[in-house]
Structure 1
Amino acid sequence: MGKSWLQDMILDEARELVDDLTALKENPIDPTEVITPCANNVICGIAYGKRFSHQDARLRRLTELIGKNLTLTAKGQPVDFYPFLRHIPFTKFSTVLKECTKNNEEIARFLQDLVDEHRKVFRPSADAPSDYIDAFLKQQYTQRDDPTSTFTDRQLIMSIHNLFAAGTETTSTSLCWAILYLIENPKVLANVQKEIDSVLGDRQFPVLEDKEKLPYCQATITEVLRLGNLVPVAGRKTVEDVELSGFIVPKDTKIAPMIFSVHEDPVLFPEPMKFKPERFLDADGKFISKVEWLMPFGSGKRQCLGESLARMELFLFFVTLARNFTLGPLLGGAETPGHTLMRIVNAPKPFRTSFIYRS
């Protein structure tokens, strides 16, 4: 996938996002309602090679199911450590498992429809695959006589499901954090808009080439990722015996590194609970892109595979929103810091705001 192809696809979503928000005529809305379909459609483009209207009933239902399952999975996390809990009837764990399974079956049917539609027009002789499903079907065809092949329809469905689960809620929630922090820090929003106006001029939408000219915007997005702590606890397993502060952690031990303990460390980030984009700018006002102890996408060999896509989406959507809208007052239960919903991702409590169009 070339960057230009991805950029064009994201900008198509950005244009419809501006249209959706403008049509609200400044009526308050929960930002997730308009942002999540955009993120979902980007994954649709990668997996399926086609986008859906934001009003499409199937897209909205898929968005709803994925969001529900992220919440349900967080509630059922103790089952990962104590599997017997799922077998105890009339408990929340049994109920959560049943609801999650039901939702997954509906998601799988939706994705199977996409695969079936693709298979009807699939041509194994085609030179280059047009999307993920196409590429998978081509490998499946190549290995059709291999009884040990893992390129099965079930594997395809689960792979697409993972793309949606990992690539939708994360981007949507990051942008919601950004909106919330900008509402609470109007001077930051003013600085962001001043920088954008000086670079974009009359242009309504950014391109990736603008990135280096927008250091304050980059610093603001980075501060959102630090303080929002989207994935504050990461599940891992030791691959060998490890000594840590005088203790031995045996091989194959399940561990949970707490990334927020680094992001909120006052030694590494002075006044860690304050929203300060300036901490990622040097004395000349240039963006500091490499900070060793900043790890919103994890670190090491298992660092998030989707980081480059996520950063591209965050930049293009963030600048689009700030270029085209000023934010109204905060309505609802969300405040920062601390007022969050702990799901698989760390999300702000639902809130509403109005988007006031900037001519």
Structure 2
Amino acid sequence: MATIEFITENIGSFLVFVITFIILFTILKSKLSFNIPKGPTALPILGNILSLKQHDELLKLILDWCKEYGSIYSLYFGRRLFVVVNGLDAIKEITTKTGLDFADRNDSVAIRDINPNRRGLFDTRADEEWKRQRKFAHTTLRGMGFGKVSLEPLIQTEARHAMDYFKSKFGSKLDPSIAFGVTSSNVINKLVFNHRNDHGSESGDELMRNVRDLMVADEGALLTLFPFLWPVLRYASKWRRLDNAWRKIKVFFNQQIDIREKRMDACEGELVASDFLDAYLIQRRSEPNNYSLDSLDLVLVDLFLAGTDTVSTTMTWAVIYLANNPEIQQKIHDEIINEIGLKEVSLSHRSGLNYTQAALIEVQRLATVAPLVPREAARDADLCGHRLPKGTALLINLWSLHHDPDVWKDPSQFNPDRFLNNDGTLVKQPDNFLPFSAGKRMCMGDQLAKMELFIFFTSMVQQIKFTIPSGDGPLPMDGLLDLARKPKPFQVQVSAWSN
């Protein structure tokens, strides 16, 4: 009786004890069930943010930490856990051996503002919506020649326009990045909208500026630590620029969509697609629940980002390496002239241009335009002997593959010979060379990008000579890191070859 009275009188305290015990047991059990990799000591609240650096210094720092903590280690940006994945074995495991366990993309407060439902091809979860949109985009574009030799005439046409633009600038200095942006965007522009922009045209330059303004990855320390400040920080200049670019791009897309919709409404026969936009709108009419206009906007912008930025940024880096290494530029030019003369460059010429191909591969390795690939754990899962909780942010460090001194002698040196045998034949590309990543979320436009890069690069060195302006020092080799690793602003002299 006394026991019952004691329990009745102290029921409140007893319930508090039981609930506290359950909560503590659940937290302890959760922590014990995971095996977070070690990493640099993190400060309370701030995490490792004070230790981080910017741009290329950050890439060097996380490569140094790899030597100290191993191929997989943890960092904290504020209270948020990031796991950095380095080296061939670990990167192969996360990209090709773990299925979709780590195939989600990192969430971002800023990007969520323009893509709240995580639609499109890039900033998405690896869910059924992503699978459907990616499969449709890949199948439709492949049917239009995406990555096939049948697209060669289109790429050659854009190469001719680009060379004509550079020739019109002979004797002057210029920043080549805008020209390369228009050139590469016109290829995807033709596939998506059956349209192209002339070099120097107001519409073409504006589209490229808006696409570039969307290339924001770094949220900054303040927003990372205090995401609840977004309603205030969104008015900072870079986020206003991103929002403004997104609005302008949506207006452009919506104008194109309205034109196509009216044309289809007026069509009395069977609807036939002339480009990707037509194909999507036709598919939407048969499956409106699976193909929305919101998804279309994001798919289109992702195609432009992926189809434009990788190629244009790689070509811009190529100009820097060529101008800084005139003897290598001369050697590439001589091989091209000796092999094909001034004939229009074709994909069939690849087999006779080994040094040219080696130089282009070396540009991709040294530049590594996508050094840190973001991922997120879609569920509790194992990676390299570690059990990671759902929602863990990950960074796949491709820089660690392309700049590992144990794999590449003098990794910061531009040396095409590292990809050639003693007899001058092309070396099989090593496993440590993954410019387009790997696995289910690798760049789906890798074959098209390779075709564009070869024709653009070879045509360029065949006809255009790049030199450092008189009185200037070597062009900057260190990059600016955002969503892509881009060169610092520079100008180069363009001229004709003496032969």
The TM-score with structure 1 as length reference comes to 0.89
| 1:252 to 1:69, Cα distance in 2 relative to 1, 3 A | closer
Using the alignment, how far apart are the partners of 2:370 and 2:180 within structure 1?
19
- What is the deviation of 1:330? 4.9
Tell whether 2:395 aligns with 1:256: yes
- Post-superposition shift, 1:353? 0.8
Instruction: Determine whether 1:298 maps to 2:442.
Output: no
**Count, aligned residues:** 348
Find out whether 1:114 has 2:256 as its counterpart: yes
Provide the rounded CA distance (Å) in 1 between the counterparts of 2:163 and 2:425.
Answer: 29
Determine which of 189, 197, 203 is the counterpart of 1:44. 189
Alpha-carbon distance between aligned partners in 2 of 1:334 and 1:163, rounded to the nearest angstrom: 34
- Deviations along 1:28-74, whole A, 9 cap, x unmatched? 1001132211111111101111212223322211111111221xx23
Q: Secondary structure at the match of 2:319?
A: helix
SS of equivalent residue, structure 2 residue 465: strand
Residue equivalent to 2:106:
none
- 2:318 is matched with which residue? 178
Say which is worse superposed, 73-82 or 186-195, in terms of deviation.
Answer: 73-82
- Give, in whole Å, the separation in 2 of the partners of 1:242 and 1:93: 40
Partner of 1:167: 307
Aligned counterparts of 1:178 and 1:260: Cα–Cα separation in 2: 18
- Partners in 1 of 2:323 and 2:408 — Cα distance? 22
Q: Residues of 1 paired with 2:402 and 2:473: CA distance?
A: 24
1:281 match:
420
CA distance in 2, matches of 1:217, 1:124: 52
Q: Is the 8 A contact 2:371 2:397 kept in 1?
A: yes
Identity %: 28
Aligned pairs for 1:211-230 within 5 A: 211-230=350-369
Partners of 1:286 and 1:126 lie apart in 2 by 52
1:119-158 to 2 correspondences below 5 Å: 119-122=261-264, 123=267, 126=270, 129-144=273-288, 149-158=289-298
**What is the distance in 2 between the residues matched to 1:5 and 1:121?**
28
The answer to whether residue 169 in structure 2 is matched with residue 34 in structure 1 is no
For the Cα contact (< 8 Å) 2:468–2:474, is it kept in 1? no
Root mean square deviation of aligned Cα: 2.4
Work out which of the residue numbers 346, 370, 393 in structure 2 matches 1:231.
370
1:210-257 Cα distance to aligned partner (Å, 9 max, x none): 11221111111111111101011110123553354x654334411112
Which consecutive unaligned segments of at least 5 residues does structure 1 have? none
- Which residue number in structure 1 is paired with residue 201 of structure 2? 56
1:169 deviates by 1.9
1:188 to 328, 349, 352: 328
Q: Distance in 1 between matches of 2:298 and 2:366?
A: 31
Supply the distance in 1 between the matched residues of 2:369 and 2:325 (Cα, whole angstroms). Answer: 20
Is the alpha carbon distance of 1:306 and 1:154 closer, same or farther for their aligned partners in structure 2, counting shifts above 3 Å? same
Cα drift, residue 142 of structure 1:
2.1
Q: Which amino acid letter does the alignment assign opposite residue 21 of structure 1?
A: F
1:76 equivalent among 211, 219, 223 = 219
Structure 1: distance between partners of 2:474 and 2:274: 41
What letter corresponds to residue 272 of structure 1 in structure 2? P
1:42–1:167: structure 2 CA closer, same or farther, 3 Å change rule? same
Alpha carbons of 1:43 and 1:248: their partners in 2 closer, same or farther (altered >3 Å)? same
Larger gyration radius, structure 1 or structure 2? 2
* Paired residue secondary structure (1:301): coil
- For residues 171 and 209 of structure 2, the distance between their equivalents in structure 1, rounded to whole angstroms, comes to 24
Query: 1:92: Cα distance to partner?
Result: 7.0
Q: How does 1:332-351 map to 2 (within 5 A)?
A: 335-337=475-477, 339-351=478-490
Deviations 1:94-132 (A, max 9, x none): 553333122201111011112222333335955753211
Q: Is the 8 A contact 2:372 2:397 kept in 1?
A: yes
Alpha-carbon separation, structure 1, partners of 2:285 and 2:495: 51
1:78-117, aligned counterparts within 5 Å? 79=223, 83-87=227-231, 89=232, 91=233, 94-117=236-259
Q: Aligned residue for 1:18? A: 163
> Structure 1 residues 285 and 355, CA, compared in 2 at 3 Å: closer, same or farther?
same
Task: Give 2:450's match in structure 1, choosing from 311, 314, 320.
Answer: 311
CA contact (8 A) 2:479 2:486 kept: yes
Describe the SS at the equivalent of 1:273. coil
Aligned residue for 2:372, secondary structure, equals coil
TM-score, with length taken from structure 2? 0.65
Q: Deviations over 1:9-41 (max 9, x none)?
A: 111111111111111132010011322111111
Q: Distance in 2 between matches of 1:257 and 1:175?
A: 23
Deviation at 1:5, TM superposition (A): 3.8
Aligned structure 1 segments of 4 or more residues deviating by more than 6 angstroms: 331-334
Q: Look up the equivalent residue of 2:365 and give its one-letter code.
A: R
Whole-Å Cα distance in 1 between the matches of residues 375 and 485 of structure 2? 18
Change (3 A) 1:268 1:56: same
State the distance in 1 between where 2:225 and 2:473 align: 32
Asked if 2 retains the 8 angstrom alpha-carbon contact of 1:76 and 1:97, the reply is no
Cα distance in 2 for residues equivalent to 1:85 and 1:221: 44
Q: Distance in 2 between matches of 1:349 and 1:187?
A: 23
Q: Distance in 2 between matches of 1:140 and 1:124?
A: 18
Alignment partners' CA distance in 2, 1:186 and 1:31 = 17
